[in-house]
């Protein structure tokens, strides 16, 4: 296990929540899940996770709206955000970055790529030491 910290995964696709939760849990992360934007905002405000993986296409609030709300609150403003999107359009990725996301991953994404991006962002925000280099 190389992980540490709490990750909130937000996706309305239950299978994605299950797979990512199992994988990140096996990596040592504490995993919280939400299937709507409103749930995500409530959990983020109560738990203050170390990082949030946020689907852009949610049934109530868009991921863009959730990101805007998170960035507007002092308690959640600095949480690193990864946009998870099924759209590979450059314009969608640019909009995500302009909306306050720190990174964009196109779904379906390789679990190792997700873990790598989580480690990179947590290390950049001082929330996690980088994983040890294996020789």
Q: How far from 3 is each of 44, 86, 96, CA to CA, in Å?
A: 19, 26, 26
The pTM of this model reads: 0.88
Per DSSP, 76 falls in state T
> Positive or negative, the Cα torsion across 33, 85, 114, 116?
negative
Quote the pLDDT of residue 4: 76
Per DSSP, 129 falls in state P
Which residue ranges make up each domain of the chain?
A: 6-124
Quote the pLDDT of residue 127: 57
Quote the pLDDT of residue 2: 47
Low-confidence ranges of the chain (pLDDT < 50): 1-3, 129-135
Quote the pLDDT of residue 122: 96
Q: What's the CATH architecture for 6-124?
A: 3-Layer(aba) Sandwich (3.40)
């Amino acid at each position: 296990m190389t992980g540490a910290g709490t990750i909130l995964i937000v996706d309305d696709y239950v299978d994605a929540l299950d797979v990512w939760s199992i994988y990140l849990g096996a990596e040592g992360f504490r995993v919280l899940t939400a299937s709507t934007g409103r749930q995500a905002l409530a959990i983020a405000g109560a738990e203050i996770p170390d990082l949030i993986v946020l689907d852009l296409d949610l049934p109530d609030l868009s991921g863009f709206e959730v990101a805007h709300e998170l960035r507007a609150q002092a308690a959640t403003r600095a949480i690193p955000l990864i946009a998870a999107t099924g759209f590979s359009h450059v314009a969608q990725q640019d909009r995500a970055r302009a909306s306050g996301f720190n990174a964009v991953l196109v779904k379906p994404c390789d679990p190792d790529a997700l873990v790598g991006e989580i480690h990179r962002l947590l290390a950049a925000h001082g929330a996690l030491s980088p994983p040890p280099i294996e020789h």
